[in-house]
């Protein structure tokens, strides 16, 4: 396709500053000795006991750093608090109303220790599940680290979910403690947590609800209908602030579970994915360092919520393992004005900005309002969660990065734990491409029989062999784990459709369950949407296949238009012409419909199955995962 010919080369300044100077050389060397590569990476971290061997691979199960003893919090926090970084800022936080907090590594260490001791006093022990249900507050980061420090398994539930979803996750994990906030701000609305009380009373394993007071609302009373088996409601200031501020890390086996995180539900019921201390720690640290190029002088902002895997790996663990300064923000990036995000970048001197393409597209209508902001502190931009179309990539590069910041798309999944395919600061970048595999990662596009396909042929994106950070299990569903590896022997089949170009760059075409079959051809939704989004009138787009009397699918595209545009016959023909030019005549949509917004998961992924159901005459659903 024409976009694949566009290449943006890194400047000399970017090349000089990048950790990774020569991608091709490192990648080839890593394939020759992948265990040596990961052993060297792990040796940059601190271990209570070294591993006996790097990898034990009994297909499809992997154990990394076998017999090694560690704790991810020792590396993400304790070792920094006992070094020169003690007085370095670990975390800047700003709430949507403008309230602020700063924690140095030394202060964060003491706060985590206090909560660790409080949890132990509540009876939490190694291996117990603790559920966290909070907006993006410093206490959310503190809670994750405190659980991991004492060997508890944290289960962060995105704060936008309802009490029903929270109850399901509490019951499924048999959580002993729920840590919650009493309220949250988003888009100017203060939402109290009181609505969850009736749901948490229905969780037999739950002993305590520990509530952090976000605002000075009246204390939530324990429900009158509670019984002796109901959880006890207690408050952060009563049990945490007075707790001792010294706590030792629990010594964990490398394979001990660290957290459970649920998938976003784009393809069905969310799955509980388990990640462990050792391999995940090494993978998160190494990818943050090499891909996102995080250095001591950076102020790093990933806009994801820790309710998602991106928030775990690249808001909390990865940056803190690197000793970085992170910035976290509670609310709507565009509230109370459309460029709040840009103001925050300038105010906090953000140097690395990592967000989702949907956010970038939402920034575009306010382009003229960016003029007062210099954004000069930025040196690297990155995206995650969905393929970024070339027009959005170029806007981000030109209007936010001012043509000097590389824009890295990153491909990975909840199940992979870490970035596996990406742009790199020192690599030439192609707008719309996911980039190239991380060192040691043997990624390919394959057929259903396992044949590696030729360049530009569409097929299944798959990874050969294991990597640190990969999921250890699907909670309470071992068959689901095997399913990922059972489609083609030897390969982890990702569920995405992709192609590889002549330069080795990967192009994500969409999910395999989002492939549209037209007249015998298989067309990925992402490539249709990429073409539609190249039209200046289109702000967002989703393509689906719908049945036709001929038995083949026809393509329908839903668009969200920029302000001032209307979907008339002329615009419809212009959009179709873009699809013909970029994808081909076979991919031209039969229908184009304008919507005010698209149904998406809380993490920003389009829920195409909702749109398909709508076309089949089913009620347009409004579920817990939709925003």
Lowest-confidence region among 462-471, 522-531, 538-547, 569-578: 522-531
The pLDDT of residue 227 is: 63
Q: What is the pLDDT of residues 532-546, one digit of tens each?
A: 999 999 999 999 988
Domains 1-442 and 519-615 fall in the same CATH topology: no
More confident residue, 130 or 227: 130
Lowest-confidence region among 273-282, 332-341, 512-521: 512-521
Q: What span, in angstroms and rounded, lies between the C-alpha atoms of 89 and 184?
A: 24
Asked if residue 96 lies in contact with residue 504, where contact means CB atoms within 8 angstroms, the answer is no
Mean pLDDT score of the chain, rounded to an integer? 92
Look at phi and psi of residue 389 and say left if phi exceeds 0, alpha if psi is from -120 to 50, else beta: beta
Half-sphere exposure of 137 (CA within 13 A, CB side): 25
Q: What span, in angstroms and rounded, lies between the C-alpha atoms of 456 and 545?
A: 22
Q: What span, in angstroms and rounded, lies between the C-alpha atoms of 245 and 109?
A: 8
The strand pair at 129-133 and 177-181 is best described as parallel
The pLDDT of residue 527 is: 79
Is the predicted pLDDT of residue 31 greater than 90, yes or no?
A: yes
Q: What is the pLDDT of residues 99-111, one digit of tens each?
A: 999 999 999 999 9
Is the predicted pLDDT of residue 553 greater than 60, yes or no?
A: yes
571: preceding bond cis by omega (within 30 degrees): no
Q: What is the pLDDT of residues 228-237, one digit of tens each?
A: 778 999 999 9
Q: What is the pLDDT of residues 35-71, one digit of tens each?
A: 999 999 999 999 999 999 999 999 999 999 999 999 9
The pLDDT of residue 606 is: 84
Asked if residue 321 lies in contact with residue 284, where contact means CB atoms within 8 angstroms, the answer is yes
More confident residue, 292 or 191: 292
Its pTM stands at 0.87
Counted residue by residue, the chain has a size of 627
Superfamily for the 1-442 domain: ANL, N-terminal domain (3.40.50.12780)
The pLDDT of residue 522 is: 63
The pLDDT of residue 619 is: 56
Q: Across residues 2-12, what is the average pLDDT?
A: 78
Q: What is the pLDDT of residues 354-381, one digit of tens each?
A: 999 989 999 999 999 999 999 999 999 9
Q: Across residues 549-570, what is the average pLDDT?
A: 88
Is the predicted pLDDT of residue 513 greater than 80, yes or no?
A: no
The pLDDT of residue 264 is: 66
The pLDDT of residue 626 is: 38
76-79 long-range contacts (CB < 8 A, ≥24 apart) are 76/145, 76/316, 76/317, 76/320, 76/321, 77/105, 77/108, 77/109, 77/112, 77/145, 77/149, 77/320, 78/109, 78/249, 79/46
Q: What span, in angstroms and rounded, lies between the C-alpha atoms of 247 and 114?
A: 8
Angstrom CA distances, 626 to 168, 516, 597, stand at: 17, 23, 12
DSSP 8-state secondary structure symbol assigned to residue 517? E
Q: Across residues 524-553, what is the average pLDDT?
A: 85
- Considering the four listed CATH numbers 3.30.470.20, 3.30.300.30, 3.10.580.10, 3.90.1580.10, the one that applies to the domain covering 519-615 is 3.30.300.30
Confidence class for position 625, pLDDT limits 50, 70, 90: very low
Q: What is the DSSP string of 205-238?
A: T--EEEEE-SS-PPPPPPPTT--TTSPEEEEHHH
Lowest-confidence region among 170-179, 471-480, 548-557: 548-557
Confidence class for position 552, pLDDT limits 50, 70, 90: low
Q: Across residues 610-627, what is the average pLDDT?
A: 64
Is the predicted pLDDT of residue 302 greater than 90, yes or no?
A: yes
Spell out the domain ranges in the chain: 1-442, 519-615
The pLDDT of residue 406 is: 98
- Percentage of the chain beyond pLDDT 70 is 93
Q: What is the pLDDT of residues 151-205, one digit of tens each?
A: 999 999 988 888 888 999 999 999 999 999 999 999 999 988 878 888 898 999 9
Asked if residue 312 lies in contact with residue 287, where contact means CB atoms within 8 angstroms, the answer is no
Asked if residue 289 lies in contact with residue 492, where contact means CB atoms within 8 angstroms, the answer is no
The pLDDT of residue 265 is: 59
Is the predicted pLDDT of residue 78 greater than 90, yes or no?
A: yes
The pLDDT of residue 468 is: 97
Q: Across residues 257-283, what is the average pLDDT?
A: 87
364 φ, ψ (degrees, to nearest 5): -60, -40
More confident residue, 71 or 264: 71
Asked if residue 588 lies in contact with residue 576, where contact means CB atoms within 8 angstroms, the answer is yes
The pLDDT of residue 222 is: 53
Q: What span, in angstroms and rounded, lies between the C-alpha atoms of 155 and 159?
A: 12
């Amino acid at each position: 396709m024409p976009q694949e010919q566009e290449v943006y080369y890194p400047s000399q300044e970017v090349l000089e500053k990048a950790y990774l100077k020569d991608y091709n050389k490192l990648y080839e060397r890593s394939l020759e000795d992948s265990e040596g590569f990961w052993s060297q990476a792990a040796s940059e971290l601190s271990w209570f006991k070294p591993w006996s061997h790097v990898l034990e691979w009994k297909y499809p199960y992997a154990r990394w750093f076998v017999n090694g003893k560690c704790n991810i919090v020792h590396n993400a926090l304790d070792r920094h608090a006992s070094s020169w970084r003690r007085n370095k800022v670990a975390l800047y936080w700003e709430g949507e109303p403008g309230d602020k907090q700063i924690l140095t590594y030394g202060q964060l260490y003491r706060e985590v220790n206090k909560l660790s001791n409080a949890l132990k006093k509540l009876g939490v022990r190694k291996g117990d599940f603790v559920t966290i249900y909070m907006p993006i507050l410093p206490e959310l980061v503190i809670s994750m680290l405190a659980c991991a420090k004492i060997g508890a398994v944290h289960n962060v539930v995105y704060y936008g979910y309802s009490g029903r979803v929270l109850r399901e996750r509490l019951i499924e994990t048999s959580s002993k403690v729920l840590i919650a906030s009493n309220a949250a701000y988003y888009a100017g609305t203060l939402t109290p947590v009181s609505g969850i009380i009736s749901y948490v009373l229905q969780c037999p394993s739950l002993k305590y609800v520990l509530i952090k007071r976000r605002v000075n609302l009246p204390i939530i009373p324990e429900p009158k209908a509670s019984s002796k088996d109901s959880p006890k409601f207690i408050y952060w200031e009563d049990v945490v602030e007075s707790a001792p501020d010294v706590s030792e890390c629990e010594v964990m086996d490398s394979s001990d579970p660290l957290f459970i995180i649920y998938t976003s539900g784009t393809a069905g019921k969310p799955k509980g994915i388990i990640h462990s201390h050792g391999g995940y720690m090494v993978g998160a640290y190494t990818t943050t360092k090499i891909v996102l190029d995080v250095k001591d002088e950076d102020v790093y902002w990933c806009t994801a919520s820790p309710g998602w895997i991106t928030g775990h790996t690249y808001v909390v663990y990865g940056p803190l393992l690197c000793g970085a300064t992170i910035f976290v923000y509670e609310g709507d990036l565009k509230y109370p004005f459309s460029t709040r995000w840009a103001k925050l970048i300038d105010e906090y001197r953000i140097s690395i900005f990592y967000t989702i393409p949907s956010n970038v597209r939402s920034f575009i209508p306010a382009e003229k309002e960016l003029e007062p902001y210099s954004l000069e502190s930025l040196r690297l931009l990155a995206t995650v969660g969905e393929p970024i179309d070339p027009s959005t990539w170029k806007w981000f590069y030109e209007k936010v990065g001012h043509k000097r910041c590389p824009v890295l798309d990153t491909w990975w999944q909840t199940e992979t734990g870490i970035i596996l395919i990406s742009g790199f600061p020192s690599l030439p970048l192609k707008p719309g491409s996911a980039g190239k595999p991380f060192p040691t990662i043997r990624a390919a596009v394959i057929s259903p029989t396992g044949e590696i396909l030729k360049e530009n042929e569409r097929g299944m994106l798959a990874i050969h062999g294991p990597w640190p950070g990969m999921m250890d299990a699907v909670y309470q569903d071992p068959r689901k784990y095997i399913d990922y590896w059972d489609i083609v022997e030897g390969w982890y089949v990702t569920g995405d459709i992709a192609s590889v170009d002549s330069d080795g760059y990967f192009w994500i075409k969409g999910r395999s369950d989002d492939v549209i079959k037209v007249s015998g051809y298989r067309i990925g939704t992402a490539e249709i949407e990429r073409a539609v989004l190249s039209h200046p009138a289109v702000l967002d787009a989703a393509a689906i296949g719908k049945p036709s009397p001929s038995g083949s699918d026809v393509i329908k595209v839903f668009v969200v238009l920029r302000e001032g545009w209307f979907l008339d016959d002329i615009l419809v023909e212009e959009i179709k012409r873009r699809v013909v030019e970029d994808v081909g005549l076979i991919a031209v949509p039969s229908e184009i419909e304008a919507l005010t917004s698209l149904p998406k998961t809380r993490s920003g992924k389009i829920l195409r199955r909702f749109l398909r159901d709508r076309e089949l005459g089913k009620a347009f659903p409004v579920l817990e995962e939709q925003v």
